[in-house]
Amino acid sequence: MELILFGVVMLVLIGLIVYGVTRPGSPSTIWDKDRQRRWETQAQIEEREVGEMIGAQNERRGERGATPLTRREINARVARDQRRSIDRAERQERTT
């Protein structure tokens, strides 16, 4: 009985080792250790892009003679729009 149990444990270990050796990619992809770095990179890209979009929008507003928008004003608009969207979804969910 002990030999069977030992054999099963060894087969599982050997299987895991073979899987690890033949698996494409790095071991960190198994544990997703690169996730934090990807999120940080994505946040940096989005921060740069948001700044570029605000600059372009303010440039067009300047051509029309409108006052430029600040990041704070845009954040307030986004928060207001998100709240409206959430309220709309909640009302829709209550009616269904």
Q: Which regions of the chain does DSSP assign to beta strands (E)? A: none
- pTM of the full predicted structure? 0.49
Q: How far apart are CA 96 and CA 92, in angstroms?
A: 6
Where do the structural domains in the chain lie, given as residue ranges? 57-96
Whether 57 contacts 69, CB under 8 Å: yes
Residues 6+ apart with CB under 8 A from 61: 67, 68, 69
Span 41-54, pLDDT tens digits: 999 999 899 889 99
Task: Kindly tell me if the per-residue pLDDT of 38 is higher than 90.
Answer: no
